Amino acid sequence: MVIHTYIPHAPLSEFVDMFWRIEQDAATPSTRERCLPTGTLELVINLRDDKLRIYDRADLNRCDSYSNAMICGAHTKYFVIDTMPEERIIGVHFKPGGAFPFLKLPAGELQDTHVSLDTLWGAAADELREQLLEAGTPPRLQFRILERALMRQAARRLTRHPAVAFALKEFHARPQFQTLAEVVEKIGLSQRRFIEVFQREAGLTPKKFCRILRFQEALHRLEKPQHLSWAHLALECGYYDQAHFIHDFQAFSGLNPTYYLTVQGERLNHIPFCD
């Protein structure tokens, strides 16, 4: 598997973490993967097939099909994909709250859902894919096409609500220990109003977003576990205790942490699915 990445120029760099493209040999066996919650949204375009499929967690014989391009909303549980289409696939990994200007609807309406890109962008979605196919390689040409497409689709000014921008900075500064009450006290909005504007732009409530940030902190620490103590890891990541950590880990990944260590894949947040 070959992964290419690109960080766009300003002003997109304030909203997009990176553009990415994945290529793999067509002979690579098809496998299913768990995609774990990251607290962000993703734009995905299949350059090989005309469909993207998301499988039912409870029944892998069932799946929902989407067009060759889709938006993946912020998720609170893992979802299952088939890696076969990743023979040629390209996408945009937005920063937290970064997809909002390009959606034409509140990001919170996409929580735990996937939606075909043409539902949001109309004919521009198919036009974008055709342009990407015509550009072919090298990857930088396709990344520039994506960059221009996002700028055209920006339905709002490329700015965040000041309260959301401040909260995201605060939450990331201390993901283990920051509390909603501490942030709201500094913002000057009522808690109800803050939750409303945060969910509209970030796609999740502040509480759920912080839980996922804490989960992601644990995942990063588990990439290179040394002298692992679950109790110590739980406290370092801001959990009340080991039981609290395990509960959240299972809620987001469907796995207990010990088993996760035996099946984690090469890419963070992508876990080969084992029946």
Q: What is the pLDDT of residue 264?
A: 86
Q: What is the pLDDT of residue 265?
A: 77
The Cα-based distances of 88 to 8, 18, 204 in angstroms read: 21, 17, 30
* Interstrand relation of 63-66 and 270-272 (parallel, antiparallel or unpaired): unpaired
pLDDT tens-digit series, residues 19-57: 999 887 765 666 789 999 999 999 999 998 888 889 988
Q: What is the pLDDT of residue 216?
A: 95
Q: What is the pLDDT of residue 26?
A: 63
Q: What is the pLDDT of residue 257?
A: 94
Q: What is the pLDDT of residue 275?
A: 56
Q: Provide the percentage of residues in the chain whose pLDDT is more than 90.
A: 65
Structural domains in the chain, CATH included, are 2-153 (2.60.120), 162-255 (1.10.10.60)
Collect the ranges in the chain with pLDDT lower than 70. 26-30, 84-87, 155-156, 174-178, 225-227, 274-275
pLDDT tens-digit series, residues 216-232: 999 999 987 666 789 99
Q: What is the pLDDT of residue 155?
A: 65
Long-range contacts of 215-224 (CB under 8 A, 24+ apart): 215/36, 215/37, 215/248, 215/249, 215/252, 215/253, 216/38, 216/39, 216/175, 217/175, 217/176, 218/245, 218/249, 218/257, 219/36, 219/268, 219/269, 220/268, 222/257, 222/260, 222/261, 222/264, 223/268
Per the structure block, which two tokens stand in for 66? 């989407």
Q: What is the pTM of this model?
A: 0.91
Q: What is the pLDDT of residue 29?
A: 63
The H or E element spanning position 43 is: strand 42-46
Q: What is the pLDDT of residue 97?
A: 94
